[in-house]
A and B are shown apart, each in its own frame.
Chain A
Amino acid sequence: MLTILLISFLGACLMPLLAYVIGRGAGLVIALFPFGLLAAFVSMAPFVERGWVKGEAAEWAPWLGLDFTLRLDGFSFLLCLLITGLGGLVVIYAGGYLTNKSPAERARFFCYILLFLSAMLGAVLAENLLVFLVFWEATSILSFLLIGFEGRSARARRAALMSLQVTAFGGLALLLAVVMIGHVLGTYSMAQAIDRAGELHASPWSTAIVICILIAGFTKSAQFPFHFWLPNAMQAPTPASAFLHSATMVKLGIYLLSRFEPVIGAESWGRGALITVACITMLVAALQALRAENFKSALAYSTVASLGILVLLVGLDGPAASVAMIGFLFAHALYKAALFFCAGSVLHATGLYSLRAMGGLARHLPLTALACAGASLSMAGIPPFIGFISKEFLFQAQLESSWEAIPLAIAVIVNAVMVGVAGVVTLRPFFMGHGKVNKVQHGETFSLVMPPLLLACAGLFMSLAPDWITRVAIRPAVASVYGRAVEVDLTVWHGLTPMLLLSFVVVSIGAVIVIFWRKIHVWLRQRTRFNTYEIESLWEASLRNLILSSRQLTELLQHGDLRRYLLAVVGGTGLLVAWSVAGAGVAPDIPLLGELRPGEALVALGGLGGAIVAARARTLLSAMIATGLTGFAIAITFLMNGAPDLALTQFTVEALLVVLLSALLLAVPLASPPTRTKAMRGRDALLAFGVGALLFLGMMDMAAREHVSIASDFFGRMSLTSAHGHNVVNVILVDFRAIDTLGETIVIAIAAVMARSLLRSRGSEGPVPGPEPVHFSLQMTGRWLSLLLLLASMVILFRGHNQPGGGFVGGLVAALSFALLALAYGVNHAQRVLRLRTLTLVGLGMLCVLLAGVPGLLTGEPFLTHLWWEPGGVMPALSTTLLFDLGVYLVVLGAVLAFHFGLQREATR
């Protein structure tokens, strides 16, 4: 079976290519493929008819509980025969039906149909529930693609989306059911799930499992209230409707429900739910079938009604119900497909949809009319057609079951309507109203006539000579549905039974409906209230509301006000911290006040004062000055607490920020009206204070505990002996944790790239045209000062390993030097002095930093292992750390200048 499935999928991908080669007759050739599959299945018949079950397994993802297990029993076998047999006929028919399409479109259609066929085979053969789910969803997707085959039409798209949304909803319900079954039983085997129905029933999940399975089955098999997608699905090309939406795919829900009947039946309300839903569905569908104007719609609603009957039969207990279910499923597949074929031929020939517009087609399409009549007789349950037998079984099952008379009454009415529909769809288009249609666009061809005729004949033949099919397919199928062998007697004449009486009643009412169809139809159509209460419009409205409320919700949250966004971030983080410490249930430790050094305290408080002034400042200039003050105060604090490197960096950064930000401040208005109301400011201050307070407590709790850093101790011990540097901070930066510095250097490099991209003038990076404003006051001292700064930067760079300094500070100071030059003599002059473009400088620096790590790599050590070379002990030691620091220096220099030059140019514009 695995091989068959594989061949089937492979063929589905390859065979349609023939449509390009062969052209119009392709259908007949491609049909050989499904018929071949059919033959392969038929060859397994001797196996199945003994009541054996054939299993096969392959490993897929066992760790996920996913084994590719297949199982062929009677029920699967019957469905496989239907799928492949009907599939072949559909392919033939499609070959004749799609004559006015391009080869590419035909090939696409064949591909979808064959893929669908393969997916169906997979679904009915699957034993593992996950595998079943995979194929189940595959059929939904292919149905979507086929309904939307005429994607240009908005109605087709709407129908396709609707069917996908409804069936995908069911698919998710099935997924949930499968997950729950796996959760309870620890296995995804379908057989296990059914065998251990008792265990499932005992678990707390049983109700949810059954509800989910019911939803899955009802959506796929178009049961109330999910029935509405099926009539819409008639937008698909007719061959697809015949195959998917009447004969096979919609039966998959029935298949699921009947497989899980033991699980559903274990719930006290399970069968009741099935029968209730089935009855409602049948009534609604019968009503709508009479209202339908369209040939295909009438058939679609009658299909929904038939599916309702099948669900009813699944719900009924007793062997007769199983027999009836299988019999009806089989008979329905045969006659409904035939009727769809006929509807398609009529559509193809006349281009007409409406039943009322058609008439007298028997003259133009005689063979189609014949086939239609045969299929309709079967549908109406007229002996000796197979539909009659199945209807007998249906009534027998109802009479034998323990249910009350209401379902029986409904079944009688619905069957009568179906007789009526069968009559109407045969008589009106073909045999009544002569002269309504005088000309047809396409005549009958072999491909169009053979499939419906064959099916109609099969309906007759199988009831007259039922031995083979009963033995091979029906009896094993019933046995596997019911759980043990049941005697099936598929003969036309059972004698005078209550069932025969009921059949007679049904046919009589049906005949009345046929006669008065037009009046009933018109009366029903005038009752527009039906339209408003259709589930379809409810579904559409809820979808619209969903999107509308989504919009409202999104507008509410994504309001576009940056302030409120940041409020959410700050507030959210504050809440997280509060929740975290509250949830941990711990109180903060506060360290002792200890010795208070007045000088340092004053500086620090000065920093805080600067911050408060900045926050309250009216103009941007005072805010910037106050911010700078805070920065300098903190730099001094660092200096006083044993961190000269930090102080140096902070000083330089603050100085550069003033230089760079002045370009921005020169452009924008310094004083603008407040952007927050007083209440907002109050709330912001409260929030900021709250978050600050939480942070303070957390920090104090941290600082109150003892601090042991193994790494710091190690660095302190090894810095001089192994890394040849006195300044531990610098050694950490260029050696112990050099990769951090590397990353940071690249951050600066990338910032430079960005500055270039954002500040570039429309042309390239060439010199600024025209005169530049220069500061003559700076020219007096500028040249010397900048030279001095440059020299200082070199010193800072070189001594960095042993004294405070290093590449960063060096680079920043060097940048200051060029910035000064640019301010004094203009950017062009500074660039000329620099010689290299800023970004080239950055690139070279990056390369230095990266290459500094490579020599170590070449000696077999990790990246960034530094090498030392002391030439004779006279010269200072050379090392790759110097290259590394030089790279940092260059990147920082280039990057800061990229910003500065860009901003200065921007300011002059």
Chain B
Amino acid sequence: MTLLYGFVGAGIFACALYMILSRNLVRMLLGFSMLATGVNLLLFLAGRIESRQPPIIADSARALGEAADPITQAMILTAIVIGFALTVMLAVLVLRAWRHAHSIDSRNVDSAESLGTPQEREPADD
């Protein structure tokens, strides 16, 4: 299964990269969301796919028996939440950009780059 999960994870990762390289900002955003998914699956491999038992101590036991690696899970859980926060934030930024530029093509969303360049002889006073 490891091989298969690795393949699927890397595949999702590659698809996500392909989407991120788009100039459509929303497509890029969805790419980032998917990138996080792919990475989480890949990270899951760091704890190995050996046991399918959840890392929850049975009522009768005092210690965890054979179970999936809990640290990996805690790590991925944190990463999911952070990824969620970043994705939503990027969505808000894209929405704001849409509001002022009326475009979601990244080539049209360029007022940062054109600010204060020597090529544009319109000095920035603000």
* Residues of chain B contacted by A604 (CB below 8 angstroms): 4-5, 8
A803 to B114, CA, bound (A): 54
Cβ of A747 under 8 Å from chain B: yes
* Residues of chain B contacted by A667 (CB below 8 angstroms): 95, 98-99
A643 to B67, CA, bound (A): 10
Cβ of A634 under 8 Å from chain B: yes
Q: Which of A640, A664, A685 contacts B52 (CB 8 A)?
A: A640
* Residues of chain A contacted by B91 (CB below 8 angstroms): 660-661, 664
Q: Is the CB of B85 within 8 A of A668?
A: no
A590 to B6, CA, bound (A): 11
Q: Is the CB of A611 within 8 A of B20?
A: no
* Residues of chain B contacted by A687 (CB below 8 angstroms): 17, 21
A716 to B, closest residue via Cβ = B64
A 616-635 to B, binary, CB cutoff 8 A, 1 in contact else 0: 00001001100100110010
Q: Is the CB of B63 within 8 A of A593?
A: no
Cβ distance B44 to chain A, nearest Cβ, rounded Å? 7
Q: Which of A561, A563, A650, A715 contacts B71 (CB 8 A)?
A: A715
Cβ of A608 under 8 Å from chain B: yes
B 1-29 to A, binary, CB cutoff 8 A, 1 in contact else 0: 11111111111111111111111101101
Cβ distance A846 to chain B, nearest Cβ, rounded Å? 14
A 872-909 to B, binary, CB cutoff 8 A, 1 in contact else 0: 00000000000000000000100100010011001000
A566 to B40, CA, bound (A): 21
Cβ of A795 under 8 Å from chain B: no
* Residues of chain A contacted by B4 (CB below 8 angstroms): 596, 601, 604-605
B55 to A, closest residue via Cβ = A728
* Residues of chain B contacted by A663 (CB below 8 angstroms): 95
Q: Which of A645, A664, A892 contacts B73 (CB 8 A)?
A: A645
* Residues of chain B contacted by A551 (CB below 8 angstroms): 118-119
Cβ of A755 under 8 Å from chain B: yes
Cβ of A515 under 8 Å from chain B: no
A 695-728 contacts with B by CB, 8 A: 695-696, 699-700, 702-703, 707, 709, 711-712, 715-717, 719-721, 726-728
Cβ distance B67 to chain A, nearest Cβ, rounded Å? 6
B 50-70 to A, binary, CB cutoff 8 A, 1 in contact else 0: 011111111101111001111
* Residues of chain A contacted by B10 (CB below 8 angstroms): 692-693, 695-696, 699
* Residues of chain B contacted by A592 (CB below 8 angstroms): 3
* A contact residues, range: 35 or more
Q: Is the CB of A675 within 8 A of B38?
A: no
Cβ of A653 under 8 Å from chain B: yes
A 640-669 contacts with B by CB, 8 A: 640-646, 649-650, 653, 656-657, 660-661, 663-665, 667-669
A348 to B19, CA, bound (A): 73
* Residues of chain A contacted by B87 (CB below 8 angstroms): 657
A605 to B, closest residue via Cβ = B8
Q: Which of A601, A669, A720, A733 contacts B77 (CB 8 A)?
A: A733
Q: Is the CB of B84 within 8 A of A657?
A: yes
Cβ of A672 under 8 Å from chain B: yes
Q: Is the CB of A657 within 8 A of B88?
A: yes
Cβ distance B75 to chain A, nearest Cβ, rounded Å? 8
Cβ distance B55 to chain A, nearest Cβ, rounded Å? 4
A 675-693 to B, binary, CB cutoff 8 A, 1 in contact else 0: 1100001001101110111
* Residues of chain A contacted by B104 (CB below 8 angstroms): 668-669, 672
Q: Which of B2, B20, B86 contacts A591 (CB 8 A)?
A: B2
A711 to B72, CA, bound (A): 11
A604 to B, closest residue via Cβ = B8
* Residues of chain B contacted by A637 (CB below 8 angstroms): 5, 41
Q: Which of A684, A703, A755, A895 contacts B6 (CB 8 A)?
A: A703
Q: Is the CB of B3 within 8 A of A899?
A: no
Cβ of B121 under 8 Å from chain A: no
A 724-771 contacts with B by CB, 8 A: 726-729, 732-733, 737, 740-741, 744, 747-748, 751, 754-755, 758-759
B7 to A, closest residue via Cβ = A696
Cβ distance A545 to chain B, nearest Cβ, rounded Å? 15
Q: Is the CB of B22 within 8 A of A728?
A: no
Cβ of A595 under 8 Å from chain B: yes
A 795-837 to B, binary, CB cutoff 8 A, 1 in contact else 0: 0000000111000100000000000000000000000000000
* Given A604-B5, A653-B84, A728-B57, A627 contacting B44 (CB threshold 8 A): no
Cβ distance A860 to chain B, nearest Cβ, rounded Å? 27
Cβ of A857 under 8 Å from chain B: no
Q: Is the CB of B24 within 8 A of A672?
A: yes
* Given A596-B4, A672-B104, A719-B57, A703 contacting B48 (CB threshold 8 A): yes
* Residues of chain A contacted by B20 (CB below 8 angstroms): 566, 570
Cβ of A59 under 8 Å from chain B: no
Q: Which of A593, A719, A903 contacts B95 (CB 8 A)?
A: A903
Q: Is the CB of A563 within 8 A of B23?
A: yes
Q: Which of B34, B68, B69 contacts A627 (CB 8 A)?
A: B34
* Given A653-B84, A700-B2, A719-B57, A751 contacting B89 (CB threshold 8 A): yes
A623 to B49, CA, bound (A): 30
* Residues of chain A contacted by B3 (CB below 8 angstroms): 590-594, 700
* Residues of chain B contacted by A699 (CB below 8 angstroms): 6, 9-10, 42, 45
Cβ of A614 under 8 Å from chain B: yes
Q: Is the CB of B15 within 8 A of A615?
A: yes
* Residues of chain A contacted by B95 (CB below 8 angstroms): 663-664, 667-668, 903, 906
B13 to A, closest residue via Cβ = A692
A903 to B106, CA, bound (A): 22
* Residues of chain A contacted by B54 (CB below 8 angstroms): 642-645, 804
B24 to A, closest residue via Cβ = A675
Q: Is the CB of B80 within 8 A of A646?
A: yes
* Residues of chain B contacted by A715 (CB below 8 angstroms): 64, 70-71
Cβ of A558 under 8 Å from chain B: yes
Q: Is the CB of A727 within 8 A of B98?
A: no
A694 to B, closest residue via Cβ = B10
Q: Is the CB of B119 within 8 A of A555?
A: yes
* Residues of chain B contacted by A843 (CB below 8 angstroms): none
A594 to B49, CA, bound (A): 11
A 542-562 to B, binary, CB cutoff 8 A, 1 in contact else 0: 000000000100010010111
Q: Which of A562, A649, A653 contacts B106 (CB 8 A)?
A: A562
A 73-100 contacts with B by CB, 8 A: none
A691 to B54, CA, bound (A): 32
Q: Is the CB of A608 within 8 A of B92?
A: no
B48 to A, closest residue via Cβ = A707
* Given A614-B30, A675-B23, A903-B92, A803 contacting B56 (CB threshold 8 A): yes
Cβ of A567 under 8 Å from chain B: yes
Q: Is the CB of A688 within 8 A of B81?
A: no
Q: Is the CB of B15 within 8 A of A660?
A: no
Q: Is the CB of A611 within 8 A of B16?
A: yes
* Residues of chain A contacted by B34 (CB below 8 angstroms): 611, 614, 627, 630-631
Q: Is the CB of A672 within 8 A of B92?
A: no
A734 to B, closest residue via Cβ = B74
B70 to A, closest residue via Cβ = A728
Q: Is the CB of A558 within 8 A of B113?
A: yes
A 593-607 to B, binary, CB cutoff 8 A, 1 in contact else 0: 111110011001101
21 contacts between A and B (CB under 8 A): A561-B23, A570-B21, A591-B3, A601-B1, A608-B11, A612-B15, A614-B15, A615-B15, A630-B12, A634-B41, A646-B77, A649-B81, A684-B21, A688-B21, A692-B17, A699-B10, A700-B2, A703-B45, A709-B47, A720-B61, A726-B58
Closest 3 pairs between A and B when the two form their complex, measured CB to CB? A692-B14, A716-B64, A675-B23
Residues of A that sit less than 8 Å from B by CB: 551, 555, 558, 560-563, 566-567, 570, 590-597, 600-601, 604-605, 607-608, 611-612, 614-615, 620, 623-624, 627, 630-631, 634, 637-638, 640-646, 649-650, 653, 656-657, 660-661, 663-665, 667-669, 672, 675-676, 681, 684-685, 687-689, 691-693, 695-696, 699-700, 702-703, 707, 709, 711-712, 715-717, 719-721, 726-729, 732-733, 737, 740-741, 744, 747-748, 751, 754-755, 758-759, 802-804, 808, 892, 895, 899, 902-903, 906
Give 6 new A-B contacts, CB below 8 A, not counting A608-B15, A614-B30: A594-B3, A630-B12, A630-B34, A646-B40, A646-B80, A687-B17
